[in-house]
Chains A and B, each alone.
Chain A
Amino acid sequence: NAGVMQNPRHLVRRRGQEARLRCSPMKGHSHVYWYRQLPEEGLKFMVYLQKENIIDESGMPKERFSAEFPKEGPSILRIQQVVRGDSAAYFCASSPMGLAGGPATTGELFFGEGSRLTVL
């Protein structure tokens, strides 16, 4: 039973380029969360998605960042025109569907190993 799969594990981009980070949740999980960890800091929530829907994007920067979780395929976090300040580890986590169609309030989120973005 594969865990949360993220790729690429490491990505190097030059300023102004685009970065695409992919996340395949655990089998049977339909809720995906993206977190960003800047060097020497904790994880900061970015966005919560269900299939084809963005549920909570309160942690997403207003510009250049977007996320999607299509009906088929992985969730994608897209960063346009990257800047040096975007250098960070980006973690994806998934959760099974809980009662009443919402995420379970008990049990942990299952994290991927992260994608480390370096902007030169």
Chain B
Amino acid sequence: AQKITQTQPGMFVQEKEAVTLDCTYDTSDPSYGLFWYKQPSSGEMIFLIYQGSYDQQNATEGRYSLNFQKARKSANLVISASQLGDSAMYFCAMRGAYNQGGKLIFGQGTELSVKP
């Protein structure tokens, strides 16, 4: 069975500093995708970044980068130069192969608070 674990219920970071949000996963599928979503207080789910299991390089999207360590089964999100608007819940998710129906399995989330 697939599983996603986020062990940090809450994190604080000073504005303009970098922060790492942890995510570990468990799967026996050789092909999978890893995602990070942001959920601000308004409630919508905002896609941030994607990493495929066969991707050789870590994914980057602007200030977001994904530190993918396949052997350790970790997919940590790094946010550089934090902004006040980054304060939100962050969810790590995994998507399995076609025979898993393509559904996303989410972690418990990490609440990030950016301090001015």
Binding site for B on A (CB under 8 A): 31, 33, 35, 41-45, 48, 55-56, 89, 91, 93, 95, 98, 100, 102-111, 113-114, 116
Asked if A114 and B35 make an inter-chain contact with CB atoms under 8 angstroms apart, the answer reads: no
Interface centre among B44, B45, B104 (most CB of A within 10 A): B45
Asked if B43 and A116 make an inter-chain contact with CB atoms under 8 angstroms apart, the answer reads: yes
Instruction: Pick the contact of B102: A91, A98, A113, A114 (CB < 8 A).
Output: A98
Interface centre among B52, B102, B105 (most CB of A within 10 A): B102
The chain A residue sitting closest to B54, CB to CB, is A106
Q: How far is the CA of A43 from the CA of B44 in the complex (A)?
A: 12
The chain A residue sitting closest to B93, CB to CB, is A43
Asked if B107 and A104 make an inter-chain contact with CB atoms under 8 angstroms apart, the answer reads: no
Q: What is the interface residue range for chain B against chain A?
A: 20 to 34
Q: How far is the CA of A42 from the CA of B37 in the complex (A)?
A: 11
Chain A: interface secondary structure?
A: strand
Asked if B44 and A114 make an inter-chain contact with CB atoms under 8 angstroms apart, the answer reads: yes
Give chain A residues whose Cβ lies under 8 Å from the Cβ of B108: 41-42
Asked if B106 and A42 make an inter-chain contact with CB atoms under 8 angstroms apart, the answer reads: yes
Q: 1/0 per residue B90-111: CB within 8 Å of A? A: 0100011110011111111100
Interface centre among B33, B50, B97, B104 (most CB of A within 10 A): B104
Asked if A42 and B45 make an inter-chain contact with CB atoms under 8 angstroms apart, the answer reads: no
Asked if A104 and B35 make an inter-chain contact with CB atoms under 8 angstroms apart, the answer reads: no
Supply 6 further A-B pairs (C-beta < 8 A) apart from A105-B95, A108-B35.
A106-B50, A106-B52, A107-B33, A108-B47, A110-B47, A114-B45
Asked if A95 and B91 make an inter-chain contact with CB atoms under 8 angstroms apart, the answer reads: no
User: With A42-B108, A42-B109 in contact, is A102–B102 under 8 Å at CB?
Assistant: yes
Asked if A95 and B102 make an inter-chain contact with CB atoms under 8 angstroms apart, the answer reads: yes
Asked if A103 and B52 make an inter-chain contact with CB atoms under 8 angstroms apart, the answer reads: no
Give chain B residues whose Cβ lies under 8 Å from the Cβ of A100: 98
